[in-house]
């Protein structure tokens, strides 16, 4: 039985709580929060909610701490700090800062003799290993990553900060024609605009200047100005009724060639269609907790990523079951 | 530089030869054949073709031997035998006999201190790890494997053995409606007939009884009787012009649920679209040769499968490149 602690209690943490329930070899031991623990109500019966101030005293009761903070400000500090006392897993997803985060966490975990996995989830995570597998198998080729259709929380937040906006849900949508060109073996060079479109459902304050809001969205640098963006104003009721989920997904496609003269085209495609982005990410974290325990038992300490995990270590199956039923 | 030997020189071996050429850290050192070496002409200049009788004398010159024999009679004997003197990789694909083959190869490789990888390719192989990853991440769910559209060589051979048949190419075709039902989250129980159809292009001898041939195909147990099969008679010219390639592919789909009450549907889909089945399989074997060398350098000996290979070991990239560009 793997005793798991969760730090934080947002969407991702609730997903971890649900995923633990689906894995009979896992047990939720405690949830740690920066809020007043009395105000945090979790779903699992008889599991304590504890202040993060007391986390150190749980050292001997928790095998793996799953960190459910944000990548912007929480995890860069939290993961190395907690790795001094616990085995840790995070979903740090700021791609450009991964090497620095890795170095910090590796230093802390190596020194304390713990194992740490960073940047798990689906991108970075499952999409990353699919890029790696596919590029190793088809060295002459090109990778393409498409996201969506799904809700981008960062883009939704950016729109919510525009004056006059009460709520927004931003969907990222891959362009089907671009995906077909990639699958055909054409190996196109695609601009940002050619790969994805963006669709914003916006609830505006009464009397707000909708034309100004629409213009502010469409011209927002980094977030929207490089995309064809559609803005649709809806009511708060419509928002709650039709857009309360957090679906996402996407595809990693490698288009490559084999043969003496590269005469044969080969395509590898990996596709996720997710009703709940945070729950799926959580499910990856929980499977990786099992792998971490097996790797730690073999004496491995320090920081690793999904690239370092042999698939067998993720599974609760024995080698005999795997060879007999999965291979 | 990894020095690679190939045993056998059929379609798969020629694919290995091509794949080695795409990987700058690999070198083809020799091809071993049971035929008279003087009769075997390979593509790579200045590489010797040697009789399999002399294989032992190459012990010190070859890092990895890639075995390109058949699963029915060659590999069950060849892989354990060659593992006594070499690190070996094979593509043994008789699913039901994998546990026995594993035991034999593991005994030989463990005793001799070599590393052996068995059952590599795409199924078993890449499809297997996708089944494993997906089932570990979505424990409440169901796996579906669809093959095709592609040429099944075993089924083509079976038709060729029917009296009056000069040549056959049998295509396995997944049923789109079945795949859509799986993707929808319905988790259907599908019969063999509901999942795939079979299409046979047949060249008959002049004067042969075509109705009898068609009947013999459609009623053939194990191969065709459980499927909706279409038989089309064509000329030898049409066969050569339109059906000389060996395309294949398929999809592994896991349809699962997450959430406290399994309220969210999640789908993971892995799809291969291959112009050349043997060249793609060969590309997997060659990438795995690199992983085997890294694992051997860490002291690992005995028999392993693709389940045991951490993705990072397949790649020629450094950890820094992987973290910076692939994660």
Condensed to tens digits (0 to 9), the pLDDT of residues B205-247 reads 999 999 999 999 999 998 999 999 999 999 999 999 999 999 9
Chain A: give the shortest CA distance to residue B230, in Å: 27
Distance CA B147, CA B72 (A): 21
Distance CA B292, CA B211 (A): 52
pLDDT of residue B280: 98
pLDDT of residue A232: 98
pLDDT tens digit sequence for A138-152: 999 999 999 999 999
Who among B19, B98, B271 is closest to A269 (CB)?
B271
Task: Return the SS3 of B120.
Answer: coil
pLDDT tens digit sequence for B301-326: 999 999 999 999 999 999 999 999 99
Chain B: give the shortest CA distance to residue A207, in Å: 37
Contact A129, A240 (CB under 8 A): no
Nearest to A63 by CA among A120, A13, A107, A6: A6
End-to-end Cα spacing for chain A: 26
Under the banding of pLDDT at 50, 70 and 90, the label for residue A213 is: very high
Contact between chains at A99 and B322 (C-beta distance less than 8 A): no
Bond before B18 cis per omega within 30 degrees: no
Share of chain B above pLDDT 90, in %: 98
Give which of B249, B307, B308, B319 to mutate to test A binding, by max A Cβ within 10 Å: B307
Strand (E) positions, B74-227?
Answer: 88-89, 115-117, 141-147, 150-151, 165-174, 196-204
Under the banding of pLDDT at 50, 70 and 90, the label for residue A249 is: very high
Share of chain A above pLDDT 70, in %: 100
pLDDT tens digit sequence for B39-49: 999 999 999 99
Contact between chains at A98 and B324 (C-beta distance less than 8 A): yes
Contact between chains at B279 and A264 (C-beta distance less than 8 A): yes
pLDDT of residue A269: 98
Q: What number is the ipTM of this complex?
A: 0.96
Contact between chains at B273 and A308 (C-beta distance less than 8 A): no
pLDDT of residue B303: 98
DSSP state of A175: -
Under the banding of pLDDT at 50, 70 and 90, the label for residue B135 is: very high
pLDDT of residue A53: 97
Chain mean pLDDT for chain B: 97
pLDDT of residue B231: 98
Contact A140, B22 (CB under 8 A): yes
pLDDT of residue A203: 98
pLDDT of residue A192: 94
Q: Show which of residues 185-244 on chain A sit within 8 Å of chain B, judged by CB atoms.
A: none
pLDDT of residue B23: 98
Q: Show which of residues 287-326 on chain A sit within 8 Å of chain B, judged by CB atoms.
A: 287, 290, 305-312, 314-316, 320, 322-324, 326
In DSSP terms, A142 is beta-bridged to A255
Contact between chains at B309 and A310 (C-beta distance less than 8 A): yes
pLDDT of residue B289: 98
Under the banding of pLDDT at 50, 70 and 90, the label for residue B105 is: very high
pLDDT tens digit sequence for B277-298: 999 999 999 999 999 999 999 9
pTM for the whole structure: 0.96
Under the banding of pLDDT at 50, 70 and 90, the label for residue A79 is: very high
In DSSP terms, A79 is beta-bridged to none
Distance CA A218, CA A212 (A): 10
Phi, psi of A258 (to 5 degrees): -130, 175
Under the banding of pLDDT at 50, 70 and 90, the label for residue A290 is: very high
């Amino acid at each position: 039985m793997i005793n798991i602690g969760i730090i934080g209690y947002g969407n991702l943490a609730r997903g971890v709580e649900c995923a633990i329930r689906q894995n009979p070899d896992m047990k939720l031991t405690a949830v740690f929060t920066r809020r007043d623990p009395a105000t945090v109500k979790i779903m699992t019966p008889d599991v304590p909610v504890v202040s993060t101030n007391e986390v150190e005293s749980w050292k001997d009761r928790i095998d793996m701490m799953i960190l459910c903070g944000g990548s912007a400000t929480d995890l860069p500090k939290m993961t190395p700090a907690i790795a001094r006392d616990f085995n840790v897993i995070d979903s740090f997803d700021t791609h450009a800062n991964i090497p620095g985060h890795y170095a910090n966490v590796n230093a802390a975990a190596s020194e304390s003799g713990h194992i740490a996995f960073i940047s798990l989830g689906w991108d970075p995570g499952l999409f990353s290993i699919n890029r790696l597998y596919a590029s190793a198998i088809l060295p002459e080729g090109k990778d393409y990553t498409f996201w969506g259709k799904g809700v981008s929380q960062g883009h939704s937040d950016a729109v919510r900060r525009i004056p006059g906006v009460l709520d927004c849900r931003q969907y990222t949508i891959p362009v089907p024609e671009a995906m077909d060109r990639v699958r055909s073996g054409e190996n196109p060079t695609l601009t940002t605009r050619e790969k994805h479109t963006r669709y914003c459902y916006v609830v505006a304050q009464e009397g707000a200047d909708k034309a100004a809001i629409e213009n502010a969205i469409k011209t927002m640098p980094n977030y929207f100005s490089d995309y064809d963006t559609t803005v649709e104003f809806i009511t708060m009721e419509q928002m709650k009724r039709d857009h309360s989920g957090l679906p996402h997904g996407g595809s990693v496609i490698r288009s490559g060639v084999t043969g003496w003269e590269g005469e044969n085209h080969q395509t590898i495609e990996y596709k996720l269609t997710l009703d709940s982005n945070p729950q799926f990410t959580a499910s990856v974290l929980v499977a990786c907790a099992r792998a971490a325990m097996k790797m730690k038992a073999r004496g491995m300490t320090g920081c690793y990523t999904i690239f370092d995990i042999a698939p067998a270590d993720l599974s609760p199956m024995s080698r005999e079951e795997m060879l007999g039923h999965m291979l």
